[in-house]
Amino acid sequence: MAYIPVDIDEAVKKECKRRRYSSQTIKTYLYCINRFLKWSRKDIGHISKKDVRIFLEKLSDKGLSGNTMNTYHMAIKFLFEDVLEKRMWIDITYSKVPQKLPVVLSKEELKRLFESISNEKHKLMIELLYSTGLRVSELINLKVCDLEIDKGYGFVRAGKGNKDRLFILSPKLKDKINDLIKRDLLDNDSYLFSSNRNVKYNIRTIQQIIKKARRKAKIEKRISPHTLRHSFATHLIENGYSVNEVQNLLGHKSPETTMIYLHTASKNMINIKSPFDNI
């Protein structure tokens, strides 16, 4: 071990910030690390790989989900390998596939959902959620300067994990986006979507738009903005795109997270355009 810092929490925070991890990731890592250290009751210089394995096994016995187990595993690995510079990696993989599969809309249901929205700006927001696979938080933070409309793509700036990534734009929506920019007199630094009071939309507003549209379209499934992201990913898998391609578009850190969509895709898969183009 290279050194043992006087203040573990401060050392973890410093290394996380150096790597530009989000504040939520820092909080999560500190919680997991402190829970482990409290459980071990050992001086940090005497903690062994066996201690880590026993701790993780005890958590697993309590029925924690695969995602939660992986988070604990990665937090402890971060402490020993990145902060303390000690090799402590344990080759354990916990399944991230939840027992309950995500809700996915069929293409026919998506058509009905879009057609049930009369407000053109609201409709474009929902169409973009599906056609790009963006998270709702990423959609409301989109600025005009983030878009390369003529080239058919855009960028999520400082998305989940504080990372930038590219997303695709459907050719069917290019004119609608350009018309919105001209009509609302948006400049490069303007949010793409803002209310009549020139304030960007909040997540609650998007949720209400979808809730109202679902009722009008008579869709029985319980859906949310994230349902459109699930549907985007599932339909890409059905259209023959690989898990790695879909992973990059969604901004998933691990391919295991994306593999959930292999379970929701139709068994009759056919052999990157946005699936919105086929509606």
Q: Both tokens of residue 7?
A: 């203040």
Q: Yes or no: say if 21 and 158 are a contact pair by the CB < 8 Å rule.
A: no
Are residues 60 and 142 both part of a single domain? no
Are residues 262 and 192 both part of a single domain? yes
Please give the Cα distance from 237 to 164 (Å, whole number): 23
Q: Both tokens of residue 83?
A: 């902060």
**Residue 26 belongs to domain with CATH number:** 1.10.150.130
CA dist 117 to 69, 161, 273, Å?
A: 41, 33, 24
- 270 lies in a domain? yes
- 20-24, 47-51, 55-59: least confident range: 20-24
pLDDT at 258: 75
The residue from 83, 118, 134 where one domain ends is 83
Q: Which domain holds residue 173?
A: 107-278
- 95 lies in a domain? no
Q: Yes or no: say if 230 and 261 are a contact pair by the CB < 8 Å rule.
A: yes
pLDDT at 263: 66
CA dist 110 to 16, 66, 138, 150, 199, Å?
A: 40, 31, 21, 25, 28
Average pLDDT of the residues of the chain: 85
**Does 194 have pLDDT greater than 50?**
yes
Are residues 115 and 54 both part of a single domain? no
Please give the Cα distance from 68 to 65 (Å, whole number): 5
Are residues 246 and 172 both part of a single domain? yes
**Does 7 have pLDDT greater than 60?**
yes
Q: What is the pLDDT of residues 249-259, one digit of tens each?
A: 888 877 767 76
- 97 lies in a domain? no
- 100 lies in a domain? no
pLDDT at 93: 61
Are residues 34 and 112 both part of a single domain? no
**Residue 124 belongs to domain with CATH number:** 1.10.443.10
- 88 lies in a domain? no
**Does 139 have pLDDT greater than 90?**
yes
**Does 104 have pLDDT greater than 60?**
yes
DSSP 221: S
Q: What is the pLDDT of residues 65-76, one digit of tens each?
A: 777 788 888 899
The residue from 50, 83, 116 where one domain ends is 83
Are residues 116 and 196 both part of a single domain? yes
Are residues 65 and 118 both part of a single domain? no
DSSP 52-121: HHHHHHHHHHTT--HHHHHHHHHHHHIIIIIIS--------------SSPPP---HHHHHHHHHT--SHH
pLDDT at 118: 96
The residue from 22, 51, 83 where one domain ends is 83
Please give the Cα distance from 5 to 97 (Å, whole number): 37
pLDDT at 214: 97
pLDDT at 50: 87
The SS3 of residue 48 is coil
pLDDT at 162: 66
Are residues 175 and 72 both part of a single domain? no
Beta bridge partners of 210: none
- 218 lies in a domain? yes
**173 compared with 269, residue with greater pLDDT:** 173
Are residues 156 and 255 both part of a single domain? yes
Are residues 146 and 265 both part of a single domain? yes
Domain count within the chain: 2
Are residues 112 and 72 both part of a single domain? no
Q: Yes or no: say if 147 and 192 are a contact pair by the CB < 8 Å rule.
A: yes
**247 compared with 267, residue with greater pLDDT:** 247
pLDDT at 272: 58
pLDDT at 166: 92
Q: What is the pLDDT of residues 200-243, one digit of tens each?
A: 898 999 999 999 999 999 999 999 999 999 999 999 988 878 87
DSSP 148-217: EGGGTEEEESS-GGG--EEEE--HHHHHHHHHHHHHTT--TTSBSSB-TTS-B--HHHHHHHHHHHHHHH
- The average pLDDT across 132-158 equals 93
- 52 lies in a domain? yes
- 227 lies in a domain? yes
Only one residue has tokens 């989000």, namely 22
Are residues 155 and 116 both part of a single domain? yes
Q: What is the pLDDT of residues 146-187, one digit of tens each?
A: 999 999 999 998 766 667 889 999 999 999 999 999 999 999
Active site residues: 135, 160, 226, 229, 252, 261
- pLDDT > 70: what percent of the chain? 87
